[in-house]
Amino acid sequence: MIASHCVKGLSVFASRIDTNMQQLPGEDLRIAQFSPAHNRYYFGGRFDLCWQTGIFDWLRSWKPDVVVVEANPRNLSTPFMIRWLHNRGCRVIGHGLGVMPLTSGFEMVRQVGRIKLMQALDGILAYSSLAAEQYHSLGMPKNRIFVAYNAVSPKPIGQPPCRPPKFNQRPVILFVGGLIPRKSIDLLMKACARLQNDPKPVLRIIGDGPLRNELQALSTSLNLEVEFLGDLRGQRLAQEFDKADLFVLPGTGGLAIQEAMAHALPVIVSKADGTEVDLARKTNGWIIPPDNHEILCETIKLALSNPARLREMGSASYDIVTKEINLESMSNTFIRAMNATTAMPLRRDL
């Protein structure tokens, strides 16, 4: 979507390995050019640092007018890249989920790194309203902050799935995401095991990852009926969204929330990176404290106690994604940020 607005083209410089060291999907970009980065990681854990080799060869060959870069001070090559680009009159826009609280270890040095990066960037794309506030607190002027609400699904077309005002069969709770520790799937399973609802809901888990065997063993020990459906995509994934009654994301990571809402599902999400604040509202869901399966259990119980209200909340989810938070709106904000910052002075000239 963004590439279709770039008259002279768009080049993506990125590694094909994500932060969980899993291979990213190999689907080729339809319009944009892909240039592979080679990331070198140092130390690991809370002191993890990265250097991207080949970045200046890419910049010399591409000669960009605007570069959008992850607003992450842990990438040591970013400040050098910004300085190099500013010397050539190129604007540099950051993007990110905001700033997480600092864990112990060189807090002052790391905070200074965050502030210096904000001072160097010509603008910032914040993926939530909370992220926008955080970037402003680090010194980014408000007129250089652009809120691009995080989305993975386009604006829905047509009518939402039709669900009856009463459960004709056992209600379906759906989780979609990687089977990794930070998703806290074990909390969801423990919460469902405590439920006394009649009829008892069905829990369906879509996704794969290193914890699959462990989670399957947990379901057996809890005597809980769980359907592990594996890594579904495309139409098969859409069908499971349409069959569900309630979407629950007990851990971090918010993209699946917006996708669930595009299928008119009410949502229960844990307080995490801030994107959930814009997506889950009183009209369409619940935001609960993290790491508490008892509160999660009570919230699920409340949600399933009134099917008619649950359908109304699903309709509210659909309206939010249709009118406000979708891929079209997100990509339009990227374009608006690029056009606005190129009309502003470089930050170094202020």
Q: Is 158 inside a domain boundary?
A: no
Instruction: Give the pLDDT confidence score for residue 8 in this predicted structure.
Output: 92
Closest CA to 336 of 150, 145, 152: 145
User: How many angstroms separate the CA atoms of 28 and 30, rounded?
Assistant: 6
User: On the CB side of 83, how many CA atoms lie within 13 Å of its CA?
Assistant: 6
In this structure, are 189 and 115 located in the same domain? no
State the total domains in the chain.
2
Closest CA to 156 of 334, 314, 336: 314
Place 43 in a pLDDT band, splitting at 50, 70 and 90.
Answer: confident
Q: Is 306 inside a domain boundary?
A: yes
Residue 296 exposed, middle or buried by CB count within 10 Å (0-12, 13-18, 19+) = buried
Q: Is the pLDDT of residue 108 over 90?
A: no
pLDDT (tens digit per residue) in 176-218: 999 999 999 999 999 999 998 778 899 999 999 999 999 999 9
Average pLDDT over residues 55-70: 96
Q: Is 99 inside a domain boundary?
A: yes
Give pTM, 2 decimals: 0.86
User: How many other C-beta atoms lie within 10 A of the C-beta of residue 233?
Assistant: 9
In this structure, are 129 and 44 located in the same domain? yes
Q: Is the pLDDT of residue 47 over 80?
A: no
In this structure, are 84 and 186 located in the same domain? no
As a whole number, the mean pLDDT across the chain is 91
In this structure, are 98 and 239 located in the same domain? no
In this structure, are 209 and 123 located in the same domain? no
- Structural domain of residue 94, as residue ranges? 3-151+327-349
In this structure, are 211 and 100 located in the same domain? no
pLDDT (tens digit per residue) in 6-15: 999 999 998 8
Instruction: Give the pLDDT confidence score for residue 30 in this predicted structure.
Output: 85
Instruction: Give the pLDDT confidence score for residue 197 in this predicted structure.
Output: 77
Q: Is 280 inside a domain boundary?
A: yes
List, in order, residues 6 or more apart from 256 with CB less than 8 Å away: 152, 176, 177, 247, 249
Mapped onto helix, strand or coil, the DSSP state of residue 156 is coil
Q: Is the pLDDT of residue 69 over 70?
A: yes
In this structure, are 316 and 342 located in the same domain? no
In this structure, are 211 and 146 located in the same domain? no
In this structure, are 123 and 44 located in the same domain? yes
pLDDT (tens digit per residue) in 124-143: 999 999 999 999 999 999 99
Better-scored residue on pLDDT, 188 or 252: 188
Q: Is 167 inside a domain boundary?
A: no
In this structure, are 288 and 341 located in the same domain? no
Question: How long a stretch of residues is the chain?
Answer: 350
Mapped onto helix, strand or coil, the DSSP state of residue 272 is coil
Q: Is the pLDDT of residue 173 over 90?
A: yes
Q: Is 162 inside a domain boundary?
A: no
Q: Are 27 and 34 in contact (CB under 8 A)?
A: no
Phi-psi region of 94 (alpha: psi -120 to 50; beta: other; left: phi over 0): beta
In this structure, are 71 and 112 located in the same domain? yes
Q: Is the pLDDT of residue 26 over 50?
A: no
User: How many angstroms separate the CA atoms of 98 and 21, rounded?
Assistant: 22
Closest CA to 172 of 265, 238, 255, 291: 265
Residue 340 sits in a domain of what CATH number?
3.40.50.2000
Instruction: Give the pLDDT confidence score for residue 320 in this predicted structure.
Output: 96
User: How many angstroms separate the CA atoms of 318 and 315, rounded?
Assistant: 5
Q: Are 214 and 271 in contact (CB under 8 A)?
A: no
Instruction: Give the pLDDT confidence score for residue 90 in this predicted structure.
Output: 96
Q: Is 166 inside a domain boundary?
A: no
In this structure, are 190 and 306 located in the same domain? yes
Average pLDDT over residues 54-62: 95
User: How many angstroms separate the CA atoms of 280 and 297, rounded?
Assistant: 18
Q: Which two tokens stand for residue 128?
A: 């939530």
Q: Is 159 inside a domain boundary?
A: no
